[in-house]
């Protein structure tokens, strides 16, 4: 397992204002203070592993003797031999600070800022993988992002990576959630065309959507 320490995460106040739908707010002083507070509490780290697929079956791949069952994952790595399981976190200081606030709006703002920081940390990891391993386009899929690969797959993913808690401080709970909660996990894989799990999810009114639902693509994946 390879770890990336002290990942640089630079928060852009204007982007955060848009994310919070506060573009028209005249006095941004309190918001700016929250951003500065958040910036000082973020400790972004990542852990990943270079893995070679040992076997491919119908709807299943095998890595380090561990089976991962997903038709979507299997189809995406059909012509791929090397993949990169990962876990990213920004630590627990920011979420602890958010819980300490009594004002619900301040809690919401810090939570949103934490999500922005986590996405920036993921972009850093993606850039690292592409540049270090001479990859072209890459995509990823995370446990729980689709019914096809439910949250229970956190367990085999963590088993493949090793002692993630000792490496970057992320612990997997019995309910398959990660602590700190501002953490992400999944598998990066090379691809010719960028893939988003959102393309296979029909859920409406999702603030995290990054691509439109594609019913024909969902049928192609068999889900």
What are the Cα distances from residue 88, in Å, to 73, 91, 101, 120?
Answer: 20, 9, 25, 10
Q: Higher-confidence residue: 215 or 1?
A: 1
Non-local (6+) Cβ contacts of 70 within 8 A are 59, 60, 141, 146, 148, 149, 153
Q: Is 90 exceeded by the pLDDT of residue 105? A: no
Determine contact, residues 7/44, Cβ cutoff 8 Å: yes
Q: Higher-confidence residue: 92 or 30?
A: 92
What are the Cα distances from residue 196, in Å, to 92, 125, 173, 188, 200?
Answer: 28, 17, 27, 12, 8
How do strand 44-48 and strand 82-89 relate by DSSP bridges? antiparallel
Question: Count of H helices and E strands in the chain?
Answer: 8, 11
* Domain segments of the chain as ranges: 2-196
Non-local (6+) Cβ contacts of 174 within 8 A are none
Give the angle 106-121-63 at the CA atoms, nearest 5°: 130
DSSP structure class, residue 146: B
| Percentage with pLDDT > 90 across the chain | 62
According to CATH, the topology of domain 2-196 is NADH Oxidase (3.40.109)
Measure the CA–CA gap between 95 and 118, rounded to whole angstroms.
Answer: 12
Peptide bond connecting 180 to the previous residue in cis, omega within 30 degrees of 0: yes
Q: Higher-confidence residue: 29 or 215?
A: 215
Q: What is the pLDDT of residue 143?
A: 94
pLDDT digits (tens, 9 = 90+) for 2-29: 999 989 999 988 888 888 777 665 556 6
Measure the CA–CA gap between 59 and 74, rounded to whole angstroms.
Answer: 5
State whether the Cα torsion 87-72-124-54 is positive or negative: positive
Q: Which of 37, 38, 42 is nearest to 7 (CA)?
A: 42
Q: What is the pTM of this model?
A: 0.89
pLDDT digits (tens, 9 = 90+) for 124-147: 999 999 999 999 899 999 999 888
pLDDT digits (tens, 9 = 90+) for 74-96: 999 999 999 999 999 999 999 99
- Tokens of residue 108, six digits: 């919401």
């Amino acid at each position: 397992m390879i770890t990336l320490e002290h990942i640089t995460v630079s928060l852009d106040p204007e982007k955060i204002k848009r994310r919070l739908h506060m573009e028209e707010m005249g006095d941004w002083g309190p918001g700016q203070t929250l951003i500065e507070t958040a910036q000082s509490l973020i400790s972004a780290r990542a852990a990943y592993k270079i893995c070679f697929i040992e076997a491919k079956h119908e709807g299943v791949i095998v890595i380090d003797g561990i089976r991962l069952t997903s038709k979507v994952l299997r189809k995406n790595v059909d012509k791929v031999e090397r993949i990169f399981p990962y876990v990213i976190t920004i630590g627990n200081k920011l979420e602890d600070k958010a819980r300490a606030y009594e004002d619900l709006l301040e809690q919401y703002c810090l939570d949103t800022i934490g999500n922005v920081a986590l996405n920036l940390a993921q972009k850093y990891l993606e850039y690292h993988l592409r540049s270090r391993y001479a990859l072209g386009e890459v995509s990823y899929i995370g446990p729980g992002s689709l019914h096809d690969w439910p949250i229970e797959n956190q367990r085999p993913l963590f088993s493949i990576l090793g002692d993630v808690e000792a490496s970057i401080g992320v612990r997997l709970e019995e309910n398959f959630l990660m602590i700190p909660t501002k953490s992400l996990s999944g598998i990066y894989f090379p691809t010719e065309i960028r893939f988003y799990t959102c393309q296979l999810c029909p859920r409406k009114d999702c603030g995290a959507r990054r691509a439109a639902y594609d019913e024909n693509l969902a049928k192609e994946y068999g889900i």
